[in-house]
């Protein structure tokens, strides 16, 4: 996304970034969104990736069309509204929901950011999840991102096995060790079905759902779950999703 988009992030947003390519940011962002929705909150999940790089292209259970400008394509997944880019051209701003659908939680899947964008993200004061894999290069790249987010509430999602390889433990960087000792490093298991089929409108595997709940608990205040009832997907209101916040 462009410079203005990152500068305009709300302090109440949850941003998900990846320390390196292929870490699994979209899976983590969707797991957090589903966990928040399970507490009867309305969630807005925005995918900043170009269409051919989107990991959320099939994550909605119902498609609701595009905004008037044709910049964002909207879908729904229970109480999660998903917006993803229509074209490679960067939209003028983040999509917004109609007033009667304003979300309690906004999750931004930012993916892999350029170094200058990470620096601007630090100034935005959002709650950030850094996603990585438990490899030696992954640890080094994660430390580089964490070093720029020292003033920000950060959680690390490590996608991989429960036991890290010995070489990874030996190269666990200081900031990551500190967060691990604080209980702010959450393991997200690798699921074979997701690896094969990708993210779809189906429920996430139970172990991935559980990781999403653990991450959500660290990122937002606790709200007791409310009685669930069916919500009919609202029609996409033309002209609402392409406006700058």
Q: What is the per-residue pLDDT for 6?
A: 67
Q: What is the per-residue pLDDT for 10?
A: 67
Q: What is the per-residue pLDDT for 224?
A: 42
Q: What is the per-residue pLDDT for 85?
A: 94
Contacts of 160-166 with C-beta under 8 Å, sequence gap 24+, read 160/133, 160/134, 160/187, 160/188, 160/189, 160/190, 161/134, 161/189, 161/190, 162/187, 162/189, 164/134, 165/134, 165/135
Q: What is the per-residue pLDDT for 91?
A: 85
d(CA 20, CA 193): 22
Contact 120, 3 (CB under 8 A): yes
Q: Where are the domains of the chain?
A: 3-219
**Which CATH class, in words, describes the domain spanning 3-219?**
alpha beta
Q: Tens-digit pLDDT profile for the chain (245 aa)?
A: 444 466 667 667 899 999 999 999 999 999 999 999 999 889 999 999 999 999 999 999 999 999 877 899 999 999 999 999 999 988 888 888 877 777 788 999 999 998 888 888 888 878 999 999 999 999 999 999 999 998 888 999 999 999 999 999 998 889 999 999 999 999 999 999 998 999 999 999 999 999 999 999 999 865 444 433 333 333 333 333 333 22
Q: What is the per-residue pLDDT for 94?
A: 86
d(CA 132, CA 130): 7
């Amino acid at each position: 996304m462009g410079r203005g988009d990152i500068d305009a992030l709300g302090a109440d947003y949850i941003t998900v970034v990846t320390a390196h390519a292929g870490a699994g940011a979209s899976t983590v962002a969707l797991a957090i969104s589903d966990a928040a929705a399970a507490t009867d909150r309305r969630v807005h999940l925005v995918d900043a990736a170009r269409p051919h790089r989107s990991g959320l292209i099939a994550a909605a259970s119902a498609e609701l069309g595009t905004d008037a400008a044709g910049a964002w394509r909207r879908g729904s997944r229970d109480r999660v509204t998903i917006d993803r880019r229509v074209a490679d051209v960067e939209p003028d701003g983040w999509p917004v929901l109609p007033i009667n659908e304003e979300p309690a939680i906004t999750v931004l899947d930012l993916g892999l950011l350029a170094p200058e964008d990470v620096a601007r993200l630090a100034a935005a004061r959002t709650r950030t999840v850094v996603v990585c894999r438990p490899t030696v290069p992954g640890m080094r790249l994660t430390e580089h991102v964490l070093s720029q987010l020292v003033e920000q509430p950060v959680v690390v999602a490590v996608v991989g096995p429960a036991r890290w390889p010995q070489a990874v433990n030996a190269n666990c960087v200081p900031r990551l060790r500190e967060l691990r000792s604080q209980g702010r490093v959450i393991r997200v298991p690798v699921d074979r079905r997701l690896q094969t089929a990708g993210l779809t409108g189906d429920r996430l595997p139970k172990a991935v759902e559980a990781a999403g709940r653990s991450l959500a608990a660290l990122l937002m205040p606790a709200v007791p779950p409310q009685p669930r009832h069916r919500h009919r997907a609202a029609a996409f209101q033309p002209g609402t999703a392409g406006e700058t916040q």
